[in-house]
């Protein structure tokens, strides 16, 4: 069946969005039979210009423009291209897609994303509480809603500790002066609450997971990041065969009622060997293309789930498969950028109507 | 895989060892590769010691020291059970 899939998150620069990886997975092992529609926030989102990946690119409004603006734009694109499935890939746009999920479905556009109450539970501000309630191993954490709570929290946790912004950024603190400095920096940038967390000597692992509507794990690729950028993003990694990582991920996601894709971040305490959940990102990771090498095509699995199919769990991911991220320069005519800037769309293939006539 | 190891390990013909559980890699010298192959096939320490003496033409003391040293490193790296 020829299906048209729209994907967001096309900007793959120094902090790459997952969309390009997702699209490359859809084209694996052979080119996607239907059309791939790129949904970009800016005419210079890099992935638009990676020839052969997209059939069409459209600009969409930023999530802070509100759900109605996005809905209007998506329905316009739907009229042009008939979108069967949308795969949103950015944290920031998830709330608006959750809000639009039903109306999109009513218009014939399917998504397969986690429900809002569940993504609220795993927010940085709520995760420690959730883990305590569900008996999920998690480093000792204090969520600071008032600067007056800092001293007592630091005394309870002890040094070294991690201080984290509510959305991004984390720093190691070895003394009170570090705490004071980074607390102010994070408060000014991201506001409150701020998270203080016991720093444990550990190794970090990530597991990209996909759960069905019953929160059963259908596919999972565990990795170790082997090289990081200065922003802490993976530029090299290797897939693993690790029962504890898979069992812990499956248990957590089942307990909290997850559906759809996510990236589970887990620390292994190097002293005790215990595994601790550290974060759940409610989307595919930027390294998702690695899953094709491990014989688990998780984005294709999400398309099947979005369409209401009942896929069986995938065979365990193959271990010892690596990726290395490599930046290249893409060259294109100026009118590509002109089309996107002035018209908000760019077509590499014929549209739905022209193709039907042809 | 031999039960002595704490997770699945594979070694290439060049002595590049991969731990499938942790993703860590190690490079083994010729002696390390020789001992690893014997451990992998389930051989006991006494057998490995004899093989080291004949294969590398060394004294029992030297072979024992090399073998103990190899075990110590495997333990430190968490590759065999403590």
Chain B residues with beta carbon closer than 8 angstroms to that of A320:
10, 18, 20
Query: Is residue A167 very low, low, confident or very high in pLDDT (cuts 50, 70, 90)?
Result: confident
- The answer to the question of residue A128 being in a domain is no
| pLDDT, average across residues A224-243 | 92
Residues A75 and A149 in one domain: no
**In terms of domains, do A162 and A211 share one?**
no
Same domain for A348 and A280: no
Range of the domain at A180: 140-198
Indicate the pairing of strand A36-40 with strand A56-59: parallel
Both A268 and A160 in one domain: the answer is: no
The answer to whether the CB atoms of B21 and A238 lie below 8 A apart is no
Which CATH number goes with the domain that contains A51? 3.40.50.20
* Cis check: omega of the bond before A264, within 30 degrees of 0: no
Is the predicted pLDDT of residue A275 greater than 60, yes or no?
yes
The separation between CA A171 and the C-alpha centre of its own chain, rounded to angstroms, equals 22
Nearest to B22 by CA among A10, A222, A70: A222
How do residues A14-69 score in pLDDT, each as one tens digit? 889 999 999 999 999 999 999 999 999 999 999 999 999 999 999 999 999 999 99
- Give the DSSP H/E element, type plus range, for residue A291: helix A290-293
Beta strands in A91-159 (DSSP E): 141-144
Give the mean pLDDT of chain A. Answer: 94
A117 within domain boundaries: no
Burial of A122 (0-12, 13-18, 19+ CB in 10 A): buried
Measured distance CA(A123)–CA(A136) in Å, rounded: 15
Return left, alpha or beta for A99; rule: phi > 0 is left, psi -120 to 50 is alpha, else beta: alpha
ipTM of the complex: 0.88
pLDDT at residue B66, rounded to an integer: 95
At a CB cut-off of 8 Å and minimum separation 6, what does A49 contact? Answer: A330, A332, A336
Choose, out of A224, A275, A316, the residue to mutate when testing the contact with B (most B CBs < 10 Å).
A224
Q: What is the pLDDT of residue B7?
A: 87
What's the gap between Cα A23 and its chain centre? 14
User: Does the distance separating the beta carbons of B23 and A224 come in below 8 Å?
Assistant: yes
3-state SS assignment for residue A5:
strand
What percent of chain A is predicted at pLDDT more than 70? 98
Residues of B in contact with A294 (CB under 8 A): none
Q: How many domains does chain A have?
A: 3
To which H or E segment does residue A237 belong? strand A234-239
- Min Cα distance B20 → chain A (Å) is 5
| Residue A127 belongs to some domain of the structure | no
Q: Tell me which of A198, A217, A245 is where a domain ends.
A: A198
Cα distance between residue A254 and residue A217, in whole Å = 8
Same domain, residue pair A268 and A286? yes
Same domain, A294 and A217: yes
Q: What is the CATH number of the domain that holds A236?
A: 3.30.470.20
Same domain membership, residue A98 and residue A24: yes
Task: List strand residue ranges (DSSP E) for chain B, in order.
Answer: 9-11, 16-19, 25-27
Domain membership of residue A48 (yes or no) is: yes
One domain, residues A107 and A59? yes
Q: A239 φ, ψ to 5°?
A: -80, 155
Q: For residues A66 and A153, state if they share a domain.
A: no
Within a domain: A129: no
The end-to-end CA distance of chain A, in Å, is 18
Give domain status of residue A178, yes or no: yes
Partners of residue A241 in chain B, C-beta under 8 Å = 7-8, 20-21
Partner residues linked to A143 by β-bridges: A195
Confidence (pLDDT) at A352: 58
A19 within some domain: yes
**Which chain B residues touch A if contact means CB-CB below 8 Å?**
7-8, 10, 18, 20-24
Classify strands A170-173 and A161-164 as parallel, antiparallel or unpaired: antiparallel
Q: What pLDDT score was predicted for residue B1?
A: 56
Do A206 and A299 belong together in one domain?
A: yes
Total residue length of chain A: 358
Q: Is residue A123 part of a domain?
A: no
Q: Are residues A291 and A207 in the same domain?
A: yes
pLDDT attached to residue A358: 39
Which chain B residue's Cα is nearest to A272?
A: B78
Q: How many CB atoms lie within 10 A of CB B52?
A: 22
Q: What is the CATH number of the domain that holds A189?
A: 3.30.1490.20
Q: How far is A237 from chain B (nearest CA, A)?
A: 8
In the prediction, which pLDDT does B81 show?
Answer: 76
Q: Do both A261 and A299 map to the same domain?
A: yes
| A90-140: pLDDT as tens digits | 999 999 999 999 999 999 999 999 999 999 999 988 999 999 999 999 999
């Amino acid at each position: 069946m020829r299906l048209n899939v729209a994907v967001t998150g096309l900007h793959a620069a120094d902090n790459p969005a997952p969309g390009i990886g997702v699209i490359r997975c859809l084209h694996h092992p052979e080119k996607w039979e239907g059309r791939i529609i790129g949904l970009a926030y800016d005419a210079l989102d890099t992935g638009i210009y990676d020839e052969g990946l997209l059939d069409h690119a459209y600009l969409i409004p930023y999530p802070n423009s509100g759900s109605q603006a996005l809905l209007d734009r998506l329905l316009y694109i739907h009229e042009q291209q008939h979108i069967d499935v949308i795969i949103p890939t950015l944290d920031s746009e998830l709330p608006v897609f959750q809000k639009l999920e039903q109306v999109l479905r009513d218009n014939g556009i399917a998504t397969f994303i986690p429900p809002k109450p569940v993504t609220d539970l795993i927010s940085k501000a709520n995760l420690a509480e959730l883990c305590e309630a569900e008996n999920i191993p998690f480093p000792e954490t204090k969520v600071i809603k008032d600067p007056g709570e800092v001293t007592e929290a630091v005394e309870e946790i002890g040094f070294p500790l991690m201080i984290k912004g509510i959305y991004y950024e984390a720093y190691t603190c070895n003394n009170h002066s570090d705490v004071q400095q980074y607390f102010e920096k994070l408060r000014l940038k991201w506001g409150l609450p701020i998270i203080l967390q016991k720093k444990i000597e550990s190794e970090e692992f990530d597991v990209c997971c996909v759960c069905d509507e019953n929160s059963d794990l259908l596919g999972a690729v565990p990795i170790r990041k082997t090289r990081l950028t200065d922003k802490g993003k993976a530029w090299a990694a290797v897939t693993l065969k690790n029962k504890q990582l898979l069992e812990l991920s499956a248990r957590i996601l089942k307990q909290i009622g997850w559906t759809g894709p996510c990236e589970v971040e887990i620390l292994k305490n190097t002293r005790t060997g215990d595994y601790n959940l550290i974060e759940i990102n409610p989307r595919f990771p930027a390294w998702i293309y690695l899953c094709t090498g491990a014989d688990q095509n998780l984005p294709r699995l999400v398309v099947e789930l979005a369409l209401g199919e009942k896929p069986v769990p995938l065979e365990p991911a193959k271990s010892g498969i690596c990726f290395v991220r490599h930046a290249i320069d893409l060259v294109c005519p100026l009118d590509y950028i002109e089309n996107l800037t002035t018209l908000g769309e760019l077509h590499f293939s014929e549209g739905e109507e022209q193709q039907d006539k042809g | 895989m031999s039960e002595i190891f704490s997770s699945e390990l594979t070694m290439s013909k060049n002595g590049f060892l991969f731990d499938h559980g942790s993703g860590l890699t190690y490079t083994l010298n010729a002696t390390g590769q020789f001992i690893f192959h014997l451990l992998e096939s389930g051989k006991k320490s006494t057998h490995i010691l004899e093989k080291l003496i004949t294969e590398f033409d060394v004294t029992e003391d030297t072979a024992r020291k090399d073998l103990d040293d190899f075990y110590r490193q495997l333990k430190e790296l968490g590759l065999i059970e403590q």
